Structure 1
């Protein structure tokens, strides 16, 4: 559960890396998570949030 956004639950996605000769190997795409202090239930807490949620204003950051 380390690579999951606390707001939108965006996580790791797996798939194949396909070469020019069509040799397929497993790979993963990880979300861009940032550890931020945010207001959760009225108190500041450190959570991992993706940058999309930070940019869109879904997270109220603590000072």
Structure 2
């Protein structure tokens, strides 16, 4: 199963790694996704959330 942010839907993206000799190869760009316990509709659940959503306060952590 792919790791996707529960809040913003951020997931892995593909891009190009460019070497010094300009040889381009595909590589994945992965967001920093953490599995945390948050409040969803007043009930605590374990979901995958990216660190940008955690820092910006878009989720309320369950203690």
TM-score range, shorter chain: over 0.9
Give the superposition deviation at 1:13. 1.1
Aligned residues: 63
Structure 2 unmatched runs, 5+? none
CA contact (8 A) 1:39 1:61 kept: yes
CA contact (8 A) 1:38 1:46 kept: yes
Superposition misfits of 4+ residues, deviation over 2 angstroms: none
CA distance in structure 2 between the aligned counterparts of 1:23 and 1:38, rounded to whole angstroms: 43
The answer as to 2:5 corresponding to 1:5 is yes
Give the superposition deviation at 1:2. 2.5
The answer as to 2:53 corresponding to 1:53 is yes
Write the deviation string for residues 4-50 of structure 1: whole angstroms up to 9, x where unpaired: 10000111111110111111111011000111000012210000000
Q: Secondary structure at the match of 1:21?
A: coil
After superposition, the CA RMSD in angstroms is: 1.0
